[in-house]
Structure 1
Amino acid sequence: MDFKQFQQKYNIQFNNDQLLKQAFMHTSYVNEHRDAGLEDNERLEFLGDAVLELAVSQHLFRHYPDMSEGELTKFRANIVCEPSLEQFSRTLNLGEYLLLGKGEEASGGRERPAILADAFEGLMGAIYLDQGFKKALAFLQEYVFPSIEPGAFSHVMDYKSKLQELVQKDHQSVSYKIIDEIGPDHNRQFVASVSLNGTKIGTGIGKSKKEAEQEAAKEGLKEVSKP
């Protein structure tokens, strides 16, 4: 993979090229190169998710002064979710830079929505670690924020936000937990549970942790909506 070309294309120069490479390194690739001492992009995804939350929150706060807190929360949730992150990833052609195991490659992993979304988050985490929040924000302002406007992401069904909105009226607490991982590395699935005030109200399965949590929230919504 030509990561120098990536840096030239997007006008960003990494101090630590390994961080950029790690942002695109899927767990299936690491598993096939166990002796190389590599680390997959999952920890960078975790960090990138937080960077995105803050950056998008700041953007929406400054550009939509007439929106209420609830409207801002819903708008942000529709942007920082797997379908939207996949869309950003495809726009930036991140799929061509992915480092995948042979099995994942053969099964179409380069086009898998969850992997593309994770790569975008991994990239944001890598930029933040290497360049700081200011550079991460500048990257988003250049390549992502121009596509953000009310209605642009209204097609995204965010069950987690809907569940949160429903229960917060009664000051109740919602929490999520990944309770299992199933399947081979090239077709791994996650199992998530959602609890209301400590009581489990739903479970869900997905090809990413986010997708599993969304499916769990979907089940949870059905449970709390019962008469």
Structure 2
Amino acid sequence: MKISAELRAFSERLGYEFSRPELLQRALTHGSISTATRPDNQRLEFLGDRVLGLTIAEALFKTDRAATEGQLAPRYNALVKGETCAAIAREIGLGDVLKLGRSEMLSGGRRKEALLADAMEAVLAAIYLDAGLEAARGVILRLWADRLKNVDDDARDAKTALQEWAQAQGMQPPRYVQIARNGPDHAPEFEIAVRLDDGREAMARGTGTKRSIEQAAAQALLDQIEGST
């Protein structure tokens, strides 16, 4: 099977050349354009999720042999979550080569976090099926390298840090309230407030996922708390 110049350029960014390019084609095919003879990437996404999980779990296990399960679990979650997969997909321009139906494309599908995350996992599964676990592991460890080095910072995110601080003060967990939601479905803008039992609160506004704006609000309140001590 011949591979287009567009997919060849993507393979270079990915750092892997497929011996069976049809696997890459399938990994990049969204359900909105699939047919009986052109299956979508959902089954590959299922497999890729497991390939990624095993590789990251093994890497964390080997990197810090003294870490407890309680320390490893949040690091693992930070590295395999959808936001991380989508961020890496953006870094390698995966959205540019996604195969989407017209309506999905017009609604901004190439930028949607869930689509990017699923396709990233599907691509990892395609590599696994093309050349085995070692090949997939190599790609994952290279693409996730910086995040593996800084995983403690990512694992203890602002929401977690704020909740730990509140509990240490004898308060209930922070409450997140959506004040407003504007913009199109493919690029929503959220305004979210986070509130503590003692009356302190902070707000954040921006585009992206609701969780990312909650994180920004939590960080704003942490900064406020730090500034008052």
TM-score bucket (shorter structure): 0.5 to 0.7
What is the alpha-carbon distance in structure 1 between the residues aligned to residue 49 and residue 158 of structure 2?
Answer: 18
CA shift, 1:156, in A, is: 8.3
* Structure 2 equivalent of residue 26 of structure 1: 30
CA shift, 1:132, in A, is: 0.6
**What's the % identity of the aligned pairs?**
31
Cα offsets for 1:55-111 (capped at 9, x unmatched): 000110111222101211221112111111111111121111100000000001110
Aligned in 2, Cα 1:20/1:64: closer, same or farther, shift over 3 Å? Answer: same
CA RMSD of aligned residues (A): 2.3
What is the alpha-carbon distance in structure 1 between the residues aligned to residue 123 and residue 43 of structure 2?
Answer: 11
What is the alpha-carbon distance in structure 2 between the residues aligned to residue 128 and residue 156 of structure 1?
Answer: 34
Letter in 1 for 2:108: G
Letter in 2 for 1:104: E
Q: Does residue 1:10 correspond to 2:9, yes or no?
A: no
Count of aligned residue pairs for this structure pair: 157
* Structure 2 equivalent of residue 47 of structure 1: 47
What is the alpha-carbon distance in structure 2 between the residues aligned to residue 156 and residue 46 of structure 1?
Answer: 29
CA shift, 1:8, in A, is: 2.9
Aligned in 2, Cα 1:157/1:28: closer, same or farther, shift over 3 Å? Answer: farther
Aligned in 2, Cα 1:156/1:91: closer, same or farther, shift over 3 Å? Answer: farther
* Structure 1 equivalent of residue 145 of structure 2: 145
TM-score for both structures, normalised by structure 1: 0.64
TM-score for both structures, normalised by structure 2: 0.63
CA shift, 1:157, in A, is: 6.9
Letter in 2 for 1:95: G
Q: Which residues of structure 1 form unaligned runs of 5+? A: 159-185, 188-210, 212-227
Q: Which residues of structure 2 form unaligned runs of 5+? A: 161-184, 187-210, 212-229
What is the alpha-carbon distance in structure 1 between the residues aligned to residue 129 and residue 111 of structure 2?
Answer: 27
What is the alpha-carbon distance in structure 2 between the residues aligned to residue 92 and residue 11 of structure 1?
Answer: 10
What is the alpha-carbon distance in structure 1 between the residues aligned to residue 159 and residue 20 of structure 2?
Answer: 37
- Aligned residues of 2:78 and 2:154 also touching (Cα < 8 A): no
Aligned in 2, Cα 1:120/1:157: closer, same or farther, shift over 3 Å? Answer: farther
Aligned in 2, Cα 1:128/1:121: closer, same or farther, shift over 3 Å? Answer: same
